[in-house]
Structure 1
Amino acid sequence: MTAGATVLHFGIVRAAGQEIAIASSELVEAVDMPPQLLPLPEPSPLMAGMFLLRGRLVPVLDLQRLMAPAATPAAPLPTPAVRAGRCRQVAVVAHGGRRLGIGVDSIAGVLRVPPSALTALGGAPGGLFGHWVVTQDPEARALPVLQVPVLLEHTPGVVPAVEAAEATPDDTAVQAGAAAHRHTLASLQGQVLAFDFADVPDILPMPAMRAFFAASGALRGLVPWRGHEVAVVDLQRLLGTEHRGPAAGAVLPPGASRPLLMVLQRGDRRIGVQVDALLGMDMAAPDATVPLGAGASLHPECYAGALRTSAHGIAAVLRLEGLLAHPLVAAFLGSQPPVIGGAQAVADAARGDAARTTFLVYRAGGDCATPLAEVEEILDYATPAVRIDSADNGMCGMVERRGRPLEVFCLRHLLGSTAAEPTAQSRVLVVRQGERLRGFLVDSLVSLVSADASALIGREASAPAGAVRRGGSGLGRMLTVGKGAWAVTCRHVALNALMAPASPTASGCLTL
């Protein structure tokens, strides 16, 4: 709760028969209560046990015991694992290097109020509940605000997990934004692959390949791309990993998705690789990639290491320089004739590429395309931290992003389509505007494509004076990507234009 903020954000939990507000900056996430909890090394009458969450032990407080200890006497812990009781979810809170789970009945929603809605609560200073927050709904409820620092640091019997010293949330966000490294994630035969984001100018449906004299083994053929012919490399054969995919030219079974061509480029050297699906983008610190040990692969020069992604497990991080320097690839690229016109032609091609825009193509009730430069990150949405009914402004839930909650809005709703339940393919496109962040829920990712202004059709619809621009207010512009039978016409969606709040009290954005 920053002084002078225009909007305060709270998560609302229901516990011990009442609703309680927790500042969103201190509410890390909410997860389902495990069927059983492990006992604490030193049992406390207020603690229900602990469980493992992504490699971290999280102690769980029985809030009902804390608020009404006489009515709910603590039971002994007779077995190595104890039942979690009637609480259905765990709200994980953190402050000052301490982390604690609070057993609650449910997550009741998200509250956004002006600072004037916060009122001091009478009683002794330093109490567990220091303020009231008054909602602005028709019932005008007054909810007590849990003082997380008091709970974690000054409440006898509460046993939080103490973590290593870390920077303040604001400093952490600034440092993470400055040092984070961006990767493009794709899947190939069940393996997650990560590439430097700057090395991937295009991902598109696999075009027809043309055989050439050297096409054998790891070199599969040539495909056209932006006026060039690009050699398609079979990564599994090139790197000596097991090859279980269909042979070149094999007919895909009915219902199977068409494979994608990922173009990898460094300077004027480029190759194409086939992948099964585009998984998204991931942000990680430079030191998050762990080098592979000696003998871990047949071609260690082609690997930067392994990376634990935020939503897709462990990914193999590939080095494009190593792939281009592989003897088979280097020999082929070296045999290609020089570009006609020399440096001038290369400069002209560079200017042509600069005039093109890379679009992320996805589905949100229909095919849509957004300039990739507008998307800061892509997150998973299979298990959101908090899911709520879609409000009039389109908000549908919250997810964790680097330990902080991020509000998510249903893009289907904003574009005027019928909302649908999220699936394993659903993703959240994270968009930044200044210091504000917003997530947009989409059905699935399709590809990355590059197009110039000539691919845009129509004219952007203008909103009436004073009205908030909304993507579903008119047809707007369309974008045609691909050629021939694989050409797709998408709605051109400017996510930055959807960042404007629908009202002063429902901005739908968090200031991180």
Structure 2
Amino acid sequence: MGVTMANLESNATELFGSFVLGDDEFALPASTIREVVNFPDKISALPLAPPFLEGMFTLRGSVIPVVNLGRIFQPDAPRAEKSHKIAILDFQHVQVGILFHATGEVLRVRPDQRTTLSYASGSTQGVIAGTILLDDGERLIQVLNPAALISIENVPQVLALQSTCQKQQRHNFRTQAARRRCVSFRAGPAAFAFEMGGIQEIISVPEIHNSMLNSKLCLGRINFRGSPIGVVDFAQLLTENGAARDTAEHTDAERRIIVIRMDDATVGFMVDTVDNIIHFADDEVMPIPLLSKVRTDMFSGCISRPEVGDVILLDHQKILSRSEITDMRKGHANLYPDEAKPKDGAAAVKRQSGRQVYITFALDAAYAVEIRQVREIIDFSDAITCPPGMPDYMRGVLNLRQQMVTVIDMRSLYGMPALVAAPAPKILVVERGADCYGLVVDAIDSIMTIDDSKRFAAPSLMRNPNAEHSLANEMREVIDINDSPDGVRKTLRIFDCDRLLQSLDALRPAQAA
């Protein structure tokens, strides 16, 4: 790379903001500095990111990737610390946080105090654009190149990002677009989500059969409803160098396999935990600049909320390439030719029958609720307010994104004892007209697609005629699954949200005329 020095010929005085990094001083044009902020309380890891990307955080509706400038020059430089500052660079509608040790001052620089670096034609543009000499040459400040800083590694679809920003500037209010749903999960240090439409099922981890014919991405295969499918460790997929990751943080009971349909292929992704169902609108998805060049198409954006943190939304169709899917399917077809053949006869008839998607959850026993009856799932919150005079079964009210949710303690409602030393419960958010309810349950287990033929009327022995108000008495139907993906026969009581809300209406005291 050829580099030449040239003095500026412009007569205009320029403004720069200076920053300190170790023993060096750097500067950015003042017009490109949006603001300087303290190191955020929470910074989320960026998957597949190069070493100099510390992570990302959200700032007033924008996702800000944080660049550790020291690691650009020296890859093994120290990581960020809480005492560091972040300068928000705003250039060409892309915002990037530049990590510094301390802020400097605002400089008014004459042309004779500046020099620029001129890079040879065709060479990579460096992050240093030139220098500023002050105090009779005793003080040297390196000028950073904003254009290089926003494109060090990769800015996916920069033109689309610019278009998005321009549209958001024209529409500075929350649109009433159709809302969508996604399922959030954790894999490694970050939180991700798949849109609901891309998920076939979410299951507990069954026995995984290893094979020497597996591809490098594939852990093995599982028997999923009579067919072999490949299983990919999602967190391992997100390690660029393929290094082994620490799996001690999560137990096998917490891990789940998210079964995704990718065109004509079915693939399972093993994740550490499945967290919530998130209800969101298009304008809540913020674009993510500055990701690695690896698998950038799979990142659709970021959803950021206080109750869920930063969640990276994924495009399930673009996680694996066609060649990777083909290799995975070919290995299983060669090893298990009988299982890979499509079933015929009675099995084909069964596949043509109606199917429903259910969320399974725990409340002493195992229950299932049709997913269409639930708007979203959230973590139990300490922000619930309990007004005086409410019944025991009402935990209080929760402000969920400017909508008041009445929180119902299901255990108290049905006379169940409180759990001792239980993990944090979940809240099923149910919306009926203008009313919104949050139903507190012990835990969310999985999301399953089940044939209507598996749904039966509940036996009368499951009901307790002596109980005046019993959850079991309201369960009119059950699901019997003898071919569940984990190989365990299950009987799930079907929970009907509408029946529950009718019961709550009956419990309300009559209003005086």
TM bucket (normalised to shorter chain) is 0.5 to 0.7
Q: 1:237 to 1:485 in 2, by over 3 A?
A: closer
Q: Please give the secondary structure, in 2, of the residue aligned with 1:192.
A: strand
Provide Cα deviations, 1:48-71, integer angstroms capped at 9, x if missing partner. xxxxxx978xxxxxxxxxxxxxxx
In structure 2, how many angstroms separate the alpha carbons of the residues matched to 1:314 and 1:257? 25
Amino acid of the residue matched to residue 199 of structure 1? G
In structure 1, how many angstroms separate the alpha carbons of the residues matched to 2:178 and 2:474? 40
Alignment of 1:40-59 (within 5 A): none
Matching residue of 2:363: 364
Matching residue of 1:227: 226
TM-score, reference length from structure 2: 0.55
State which structure, 1 or 2, has the greater radius of gyration over its C-alpha atoms: 2
In structure 2, how many angstroms separate the alpha carbons of the residues matched to 1:404 and 1:486? 40
Matching residue of 1:494: 496
In structure 1, how many angstroms separate the alpha carbons of the residues matched to 2:475 and 2:180? 36
Amino acid of the residue matched to residue 479 of structure 2? L
Q: 1:484 to 1:231 in 2, by over 3 A?
A: closer
Of 291, 294, 310, the residue aligned with 1:298 is 294
Matching residue of 1:323: 319
Matching residue of 1:479: 479
In structure 2, how many angstroms separate the alpha carbons of the residues matched to 1:344 and 1:483? 17
Work out whether residues 381 and 424 of structure 1, in 8 Å CA contact, stay in contact via their aligned partners in 2: no
Amino acid of the residue matched to residue 322 of structure 1? K
**1:407 Cα deviation (Å)?**
0.5
Q: Which moved more, 1:282-291 or 1:235-244?
A: 235-244
Q: Which moved more, 1:215-224 or 1:285-294?
A: 285-294
**1:190 Cα deviation (Å)?**
3.6
Work out whether residues 224 and 485 of structure 2, in 8 Å CA contact, stay in contact via their aligned partners in 1: no
Q: Please give the secondary structure, in 2, of the residue aligned with 1:373.
A: helix
Provide Cα deviations, 1:128-150, integer angstroms capped at 9, x if missing partner. xxxxxxxxxxxxxxxxxxxxxxx
Q: Establish whether residue 197 from structure 1 lines up as the match of residue 199 from structure 2.
A: no
Amino acid of the residue matched to residue 257 of structure 2? L
Work out whether residues 382 and 422 of structure 1, in 8 Å CA contact, stay in contact via their aligned partners in 2: no
**1:244 Cα deviation (Å)?**
5.4
Work out whether residues 204 and 261 of structure 1, in 8 Å CA contact, stay in contact via their aligned partners in 2: yes
**1:223 Cα deviation (Å)?**
0.9
Q: 1:472 to 1:422 in 2, by over 3 A?
A: farther
In structure 2, how many angstroms separate the alpha carbons of the residues matched to 1:353 and 1:504? 40
In structure 2, how many angstroms separate the alpha carbons of the residues matched to 1:317 and 1:253? 23
Matching residue of 2:441: 442
Q: 1:327 to 1:400 in 2, by over 3 A?
A: farther
**1:365 Cα deviation (Å)?**
3.0
In structure 1, how many angstroms separate the alpha carbons of the residues matched to 2:408 and 2:310? 28
Q: 1:474 to 1:284 in 2, by over 3 A?
A: closer
Q: Please give the secondary structure, in 1, of the residue aligned with 2:319.
A: helix
Q: Establish whether residue 387 from structure 1 lines up as the match of residue 386 from structure 2.
A: yes
Q: 1:200 to 1:341 in 2, by over 3 A?
A: closer
Work out whether residues 414 and 472 of structure 1, in 8 Å CA contact, stay in contact via their aligned partners in 2: no
Q: 1:405 to 1:342 in 2, by over 3 A?
A: same
Provide Cα deviations, 1:178-208, integer angstroms capped at 9, x if missing partner. 5222111111234211001111121111111
Work out whether residues 422 and 443 of structure 1, in 8 Å CA contact, stay in contact via their aligned partners in 2: no
**1:392 Cα deviation (Å)?**
4.6
Matching residue of 1:110: none
Work out whether residues 404 and 436 of structure 2, in 8 Å CA contact, stay in contact via their aligned partners in 1: no
Provide Cα deviations, 1:27-80, integer angstroms capped at 9, x if missing partner. xxxxxxxxxxxxxxxxxxxxxxxxxxx978xxxxxxxxxxxxxxxxxxxxxxxx
Unpaired stretches in structure 2, ≥5 consecutive residues: 1-57, 61-169
Provide Cα deviations, 1:369-414, integer angstroms capped at 9, x if missing partner. 2122211111222313313689557322211222121101112233
Q: 1:263 to 1:502 in 2, by over 3 A?
A: closer
Matching residue of 1:31: none
**1:323 Cα deviation (Å)?**
1.5
TM-score, reference length from structure 1: 0.55
Amino acid of the residue matched to residue 302 of structure 1? M
In structure 2, how many angstroms separate the alpha carbons of the residues matched to 1:316 and 1:451? 29
Unpaired stretches in structure 1, ≥5 consecutive residues: 1-53, 57-163
Work out whether residues 369 and 491 of structure 1, in 8 Å CA contact, stay in contact via their aligned partners in 2: yes
Q: 1:245 to 1:326 in 2, by over 3 A?
A: farther
Provide Cα deviations, 1:278-319, integer angstroms capped at 9, x if missing partner. 101001121322233244452202221222145221112221
Work out whether residues 470 and 497 of structure 1, in 8 Å CA contact, stay in contact via their aligned partners in 2: no
Q: Establish whether residue 276 from structure 1 lines up as the match of residue 272 from structure 2.
A: yes
Matching residue of 2:239: 240
Matching residue of 2:328: 332
Provide Cα deviations, 1:74-127, integer angstroms capped at 9, x if missing partner. xxxxxxxxxxxxxxxxxxxxxxxxxxxxxxxxxxxxxxxxxxxxxxxxxxxxxx
Provide Cα deviations, 1:451-507, integer angstroms capped at 9, x if missing partner. 2345446527699xxxx9963436644434547774444332212211115457939
**1:245 Cα deviation (Å)?**
4.2
In structure 2, how many angstroms separate the alpha carbons of the residues matched to 1:424 and 1:382? 13
Work out whether residues 426 and 444 of structure 1, in 8 Å CA contact, stay in contact via their aligned partners in 2: yes
**1:272 Cα deviation (Å)?**
0.4
In structure 1, how many angstroms separate the alpha carbons of the residues matched to 2:340 and 2:293? 41
Q: Which moved more, 1:426-435 or 1:223-232?
A: 426-435
Q: Please give the secondary structure, in 1, of the residue aligned with 2:416.
A: coil
Q: 1:474 to 1:295 in 2, by over 3 A?
A: closer
**Kindly, what percent of the aligned residue pairs are identical?**
17
Of 255, 258, 279, the residue aligned with 1:259 is 255
Question: Aligned pair count?
Answer: 335
Work out whether residues 455 and 477 of structure 2, in 8 Å CA contact, stay in contact via their aligned partners in 1: yes
**1:420 Cα deviation (Å)?**
4.7
Matching residue of 1:418: 417
Q: Which moved more, 1:348-357 or 1:286-295?
A: 348-357
**1:353 Cα deviation (Å)?**
6.7
Matching residue of 2:178: 179
Work out whether residues 388 and 396 of structure 1, in 8 Å CA contact, stay in contact via their aligned partners in 2: no
Q: Establish whether residue 378 from structure 1 lines up as the match of residue 377 from structure 2.
A: yes
CA RMSD of aligned residues (A): 4.4
In structure 2, how many angstroms separate the alpha carbons of the residues matched to 1:446 and 1:490? 12
Alignment of 1:119-198 (within 5 A): 176=176, 178-198=177-197
Work out whether residues 398 and 407 of structure 2, in 8 Å CA contact, stay in contact via their aligned partners in 1: yes
Q: Establish whether residue 286 from structure 1 lines up as the match of residue 288 from structure 2.
A: no
Work out whether residues 185 and 274 of structure 2, in 8 Å CA contact, stay in contact via their aligned partners in 1: yes
Work out whether residues 363 and 445 of structure 1, in 8 Å CA contact, stay in contact via their aligned partners in 2: yes
Q: 1:277 to 1:310 in 2, by over 3 A?
A: same
In structure 2, how many angstroms separate the alpha carbons of the residues matched to 1:330 and 1:206? 23
Q: Please give the secondary structure, in 2, of the residue aligned with 1:212.
A: coil
In structure 2, how many angstroms separate the alpha carbons of the residues matched to 1:353 and 1:309? 40
